[in-house]
Structure 1
Amino acid sequence: MATSCTRVTYSPAYTLVPTYECFNRCSYCNFRADPGESPWITLTEAEAKLRSLPSSVTEILVLSGEVHPNSPRRTVWFEHIYHLCELALSLGFLPHTNAGPLSYQEMERLKGVNASMGLMLEQITPALVQTVHRHAPSKQPELRLQQLRWAGELQIPFTTGLLLGIGETVHDRLATLEAIAQIHTQFGHIQEVILQPYSPGSTEAWGGCAMRPADLVELVGIARRILPPAITIQVPPNLILEFSLLTACLEAGARDLGGIGPCDEVNPDYPHPVPTDLQTRLAEAGWQLVPRLPVYPHYLEWLPQSLRAIAQHRQLI
């Protein structure tokens, strides 16, 4: 049982999807659409959505499908993401972009309009390139590890994580955690590591089996021992289907529940819990659920002054 003062954080968030189109075909994906089959959200549409949000929302997760780096549409795609971030900032929100692997120059530009950024490392084993990532060129492990290093060089507060139960071994999970720990030790920029269990969805091609819940609880404890103390471990409450397992993850060392908003765009079959309901249930179990910003306080000095001013104005904890 947690003590009465043990805090767990979450980010009051809204997900803005520039486009669902993606040149990758991860076989477990429930998000993507084929190129040309997903209209891009316009700035006018995005502004209407953002202006309708309650004042409690602080984070705008800009979550996009990927346009191929060599596509003639790549520049237009990137500029659209950049302008969506600018729009969110102009309305007093804090953007957090996750748009797949980016070039160093793209990351450098987005740093100026994002409170933080993210990219799931998933797993570093190359074996998955022959299975669930066979048709997903941007899931090459070294490409994603490079993103983590570049984010560190650019001093971008960063979120990464593991996708669990997609064919990796226990050794693969440990190797991925150790790789994250090593990169953070060098640069000190990783805010959170998400431990996300694969959850079967209604539109995926793969049809795999969900991860054993007990394995997730065990991995949280292992991750807490491997990762530096400054990195917060995050688990998604909508993908942990029994409340007792969620509290077991917290007891094992998880301390954040991620962005909670109207919809989980990556796992649309698994609705987010209502924060007030979750807060009540956690309080009964001895945990205090509190909101946070998408940038942790000790990284505020890394932000450009304009972003830092918004973050300080919206400071929640």
Structure 2
Amino acid sequence: MPVANFSIITYSPAYTIVPTYECFNRCSYCNFRTDPGNSPWMSLSTAETIFKQLQNHKVCEILILSGEVHPNSSQRSAWFQRIYDLCKSALTMGFLPHTNAGPLSFAEMQQLKNVNVSMGLMLEQLTPKLLETVHRHAPSKLPELRLQQLEWAGKLQIPFTTGLLLGIGETVEDWWETLTAIANLHQRYHHIQEVILQPHSPGTQQTFDAPPFNPHQLPEVIAQARQILPLDITIQIPPNLVKDKQWLLACVEAGARDLGGISPKDEVNPDYPHLQAQTLQEILQSGGWELVPRLPVYPQFDDWLSAELQEVVKQWRKLLIQHDLFANTKLTKNPI
């Protein structure tokens, strides 16, 4: 495992592909979903056109982010196949896929492992009381169902990202319980790459009537999370949801070391445009930090990948080291 350089903050140059916005869940804070039948699915030809356009745009990660089709739906098989085919197409064209499509079966995860360098699923919060409020109409938000995904990812040796959504009706104690559950699973399988701490940020589509999570509280949460989580788990924050420059720097000082995938649009929080890498670099440099790109799989997990995936990852690591593909970053210092 590489020795961490604590002056470095990482991000993934990414582009998000949405197979469908349709989702059978109706989380009251969601600004992403549409009702089933109200959103066309992305075709493979459309995705391939996008991939071709991205090949010269310094993008390494393709995030496959989808609304959920019910496990018992007649469309479930076609939905899963579309996700698989999109990942395969992205991989064939030289990108590194990372899928976050809600809870999957063990067999589905096992198949997607062949065409993804990493995967993810937000735990959000493990407290069951949210099933009576924001998750009342969200069957796949059962805490035990989502926790099971993390365990299956460990058993399948899938490098994994998870996280908490802060400010949706949970308590402070709920944060520590959820983080402890993540830490315990990681101690068994050593498979969690990152934990995202995402502050609730109200959007125009949601029905949840609550204020945004106080960004001034986020550094405290990060500092406590850093005490709970093993040191080989990176804490990630979404910089577009921490608009104040000083508080973004405060989050970094508290222990956040990654800013996630930076793409043209934040599909989950469309009302909050991403700050692009050049802007983020200027902010971080003012505090003595350096922003560098990373791949969606950390080096310590490379040997978990298939030979095909390892070869694509190997080529990307060579490119990052040998060529200044990303303007204004010192890639020779890139730890991953």
Question: Cα offset for 1:145?
Answer: 0.3
SS for the counterpart of 1:117 is strand
| Residue equivalent to 1:41 | 42
Q: Which amino acid aligns with 1:40?
A: W
Instruction: Find the counterpart in structure 2 of residue 21 from structure 1.
Output: 22
Q: Which residue of 1 aligns with 2:94?
A: 92
Task: State yes or no: 1:187 paired with 2:205.
Answer: no
Residue matched to 1:136: 138
Distance 2:213 2:278 in 1: 28
Which of 290, 293, 309 pairs up with 2:292? 290
SS of 2:169's partner is coil
Q: How much does 1:5 deviate? A: 6.7
Question: What secondary structure sits across from 1:309 in the alignment?
Answer: helix
| Counterpart residue type for residue 266 of structure 1 | V
| CA-to-aligned-CA distance 1:103-161 (integer Å, 9 cap, x gap) | 00000000000000000000000000000000000000000000000000000000000
CA shift, 1:206, in A, is 1.0
Offset at residue 291 of structure 1 (A): 0.1
Alpha carbons 1:5, 1:288 under 8 Å: kept = no
TM-superposed deviation, 1:282: 1.1
- Could you tell me which amino acid in structure 2 is paired with residue 189 of structure 1? H
Aligned counterpart, 2:105:
103
Opposite residue 211 of structure 1, the aligned amino acid is F
Aligned-partner Cα distance in 2 for 1:197–1:270? 12
CA displacement at 1:207 relative to structure 2: 2.7
Q: TM-score, normalised by structure 2?
A: 0.92
Structure 2 unaligned residues grouped into runs of 5+:
321-333
CA deviation after TM superposition for structure 1 residue 72, in Å: 0.8
Distance in 2 of aligned mates of 1:134 and 1:204: 14
- Name which of structure 1's ranges 178-187 and 208-217 shifts more when overlaid on structure 2: 208-217
Q: 1:246 aligns with which of 241, 245, 248?
A: 248
Paired position in structure 2 for 1:6: 7
Provide Cα deviations, 1:199-257, integer angstroms capped at 9, x if missing partner.
Answer: 00011111311111122110000000000000000000000010111110100000000
Moved more, 52-61 or 24-33: 52-61
TM value normalised by structure 1? 0.98
Give the aligned residue type for 1:47. E
Q: Output the CA distance in 1 between the equivalents of 2:209 and 2:313.
A: 41
Correspondence list, 1:174-253, <5 A: 174-253=176-255
Larger relative contact order (CA 8 Å, sep ≥ 6): 1
Q: 1:33 is aligned with what amino acid?
A: T
The number of equivalent residue pairs is 314
Classify the secondary structure of the residue corresponding to 2:270: coil
**Identity, % of aligned positions:** 63
Partner of 2:315: 313
Q: Partner residue of 1:31?
A: 32
| One-letter amino acid of the counterpart of residue 284, structure 2 | L
Aligned match of 1:61: 63
Question: Which amino acid letter does the alignment assign opposite residue 34 of structure 2?
Answer: A
**Residue in structure 2 matched with residue 300 of structure 1 by the alignment:** 302
Equivalent pair of 1:96/1:118 in contact (CA under 8 Å): yes
Partner amino acid, structure 1, of 2:33:
R
Which residue number in structure 1 is paired with residue 115 of structure 2?
Answer: 113
1:101 is paired with a residue whose SS is: coil
